[in-house]
Amino acid sequence: MRINSVLSALLLAMCLSAAPAQAQDDRPIVVELFTSQGCSSCPPADQLLEELATRSNVIALAMHVDYWDYLGWKDTMGRPEHTERQKAYAHVAGSRSIYTPQMIVAGSQHIVGYKPMQLANALSEAASRDPGVKLSVKRSGSRIVVQAQPEQGLPKNMVVQLVRYIPEYDVSIKRGENAGKVITYVNAVTDIAEIGRWNGRQNLNLRYQISGDQPVVVIVQERGPGRVIAAARLN
C-alpha cells in the first residue's frame, strides 16, 4: 500500500462502516476532486480518490482543471469546463479563490488540500442525510432512462446531469512540478452535461441518447451548483 494509504483507508472505513446501510448501497455520495497533473500537491489526493473509487457507496469523480498548464505540462484530461465548475462552487460558497487539490462532497462540503479526517467527517455527515428522492437509472437500447420519485420536500430548481469518465489510465509526466513521475489516475471526467431540469414536485421520467462504452453517472443537483440531491451510476 502506498504512502498515506493506510491512514486514509482506516479513516474512510471507520466513517463509511457507520453509515446507514441504505445510504451505503442505494444512495451513493458524490465526491468531486479538482486536480491537475501539473500540481505537485495533488498526487496524495489522487491516491485518496483511487481508494474512494473502490467503494460502492461513493461515486468518486476526478475533475481535471487547466489552470496549471502554464507551469510546463498540459494536463491530458484538463477541461476548461471543470475550471468553470470549480469557480461556480467557489462563488456559491462566497470564496474568490480556487485551489488544487480540492474535494467537494455531495456538492456542499469543500475540502481544500489532502485532509483525510475532514473528508471522513464530510462523508459521514452526507451519509446520514435522507435525500428525499428515489432515483433509478437504466439502459434501454442506446438510451438511458432516468426516473426519480420525490419522497419528501425537495428544492424547486434542480438540474439533471450526465457524466462520463475514464475509469483508469497512467500518465508519464515529462515537465512541470511532477516531471519524471508516472501517475495512475482514476475516474477522470471527460464530459458533464445538463440533460434536464426538475422541480421536484412530480415524478421525473427522462430519456437520453448515449454512445460509447464509458461508465455513466447521473447527478440530480440544486442549481448553483449546490447540494447533490441524488446520484446513480451505470458501469
pTM of the model: 0.90
What is the per-residue pLDDT across 50-80, written as a single tens digit (0 to 9) for each?
Answer: 999 999 999 999 999 999 999 999 999 999 9
> Residue 164's domain spans which residues?
5-234
CA-CA-CA-CA torsion for 15, 19, 24, 30, nearest 10 degrees? Answer: -60
Rounded to the nearest angstrom, the gap between the alpha carbon of residue 72 and the centroid of all alpha carbons in its chain is 27
Positions in the chain whose pLDDT score sits under 50: 1-3, 6, 15, 18-23
Which residues, in sequence order, are CB contacts of 179 under 8 Å at separation 6+?
72, 73, 173
Strands (E), 56-181: 58-64, 102-105, 109-112, 133-140, 143-150, 158-172
Q: Which three cell numbers stand for residue 149?
A: 420519485
What is the per-residue pLDDT across 143-177, written as a single tens digit (0 to 9) for each?
Answer: 999 999 998 789 889 999 999 999 999 999 999 99
Q: What DSSP designation does 28 have?
A: P
Strands 58-64 and 29-35: parallel
The CATH number linked to 73 is: 3.40.30.10
Per cent of the chain over pLDDT 90 is 79
Per the structure, the count of domains in the chain is 1
- CA gap 35, 48 in Å, rounded: 12
